Amino acid sequence: MQRTYAGRLARFLTAGALLAVAAWPSLAAAQGGAAGVGPTFDAVVRDLPQGIAAEGVVEAVRQATLGAQVAGRITELAVKAGDPVRAGQVLVRIDARTAEQAVAASRSQVAESEANLANARRKHERNVSLYAQKFVSQAVVDQSEAELKAAQAQLAALNANAVQASAAQTFTTVTAPFAGVVGATHVELGDMAQPGRALVTVFDPKDLRVTATLPQAALAKARLDDPVEIELPGRSGTVKATRVTVIPLADARTHTTRVRLDLPPTQGVLPGQFARAWFVTGTTRALAVPASALLKRGEVTAVYVVDRDGRTLLRQVRVGEPVAGGMVEILAGLSGGERIAQNPVQAGMNASVAASPAAK
């Protein structure tokens, strides 16, 4: 008795699911009215690229985090995150009074050393003249010559210190190394800058790439000469990498290798975003349809099949694994040569839709 009741209940639920599937297009047609099927796709068995998916992160090819090289209080923060900047534009100014005092002190030391050098030179010249007249010994001349060379060396060292102080004075003004966008500011106005502390991050949004990680076994199978397709969040379809670069260094802990994939000019992509790359490893014969053609309602997946008369029939299918190019393998429910609607929403608004039996 219990088995009979369970069997009737199962048949009732199966029939209810099919009726619900059949009701979808009718509801859509009632809401949207009659409309064309739209673009279609021929579902035929073909050679499809077989690949491996690898997750990665978008990063800028040119990105720099500018840090302080001198200590001082930040007196000006001219940009904020998201601001476009040009090459050489002033981003941060650090209090330059300490650097100016160091320059003035170094110049004073140079002037003092120049005076000492002039005095040592005159003294040595007098000793040489007196030695020629036999009034002083050779030891006196040698001593004055040593003092002259010491004064020259001291002047050279102080001149180097003066150049270093002048260079340090320029470090109080931080400028953009290239044209780009400010990614982040790591300080606020009035903060104390210290050598090595990060101030501003700038990146060039025109040159972006994806860094993906591949296991060594997968890297050996990947056909890097074939186009590598990249999925980006919030974008329909994929983009193809313009260049593939394998980093010649493997991680000893995870046994993986990083691969850099240069992106073509793409709007709306920012460093740090998630990405998925598809590397081709071979080919396989399978029946596949675009992923956008699938209509999912709960645990049921279906497509709209277009018959010879142009009518659309809702067909439940069983799908397999995704393949490269935004395609999904169909395991059951479709036959080679059938035509399906690529836009299920537009096809569902067609008033001539009728439901067909579910896939087994």
Per-residue pLDDT of the chain (360 residues; tens, 9 = 90+): 333 333 443 343 333 333 333 333 333 332 232 346 777 887 777 777 777 888 999 999 999 999 999 899 999 999 999 999 999 999 999 998 888 888 889 999 999 999 999 999 999 999 999 989 988 899 999 999 999 999 999 999 999 998 888 888 888 999 999 999 999 999 999 999 999 999 999 999 989 999 999 998 888 888 888 888 888 877 777 888 999 999 998 888 988 999 999 999 888 888 989 999 988 887 777 788 888 888 888 888 888 888 777 778 888 888 877 766 677 888 888 877 788 887 777 777 764 444 444 444
Please tell me the total number of residues recorded for the chain in this structure.
360
pLDDT of residue 27: 30
Cβ 232 vs Cβ 220: under 8 Å: no
pLDDT of residue 270: 87
Phi-psi region of 302 (alpha: psi -120 to 50; beta: other; left: phi over 0): beta
pLDDT of residue 33: 29
CA distance 276 to 259: 12
Question: Token pair of 314, please?
Answer: 């809702």
pLDDT of residue 328: 81
pLDDT of residue 350: 62
pLDDT of residue 347: 73
User: Could you tell me how far CA 160 lies from the centroid of its own chain?
Assistant: 42
Q: Coil, strand or helix: which one is 182?
A: strand
CA distance 211 to 261: 6
pLDDT of residue 111: 93
Question: Which amino acid belongs to residue 303?
Answer: V
pLDDT of residue 17: 39
Q: Is 174 exposed, middle or buried (0-12, 13-18, 19+ CB in 10 A)?
A: buried
pLDDT of residue 266: 82
pLDDT of residue 325: 65
Cβ 339 vs Cβ 289: under 8 Å: no
Cβ 209 vs Cβ 270: under 8 Å: no
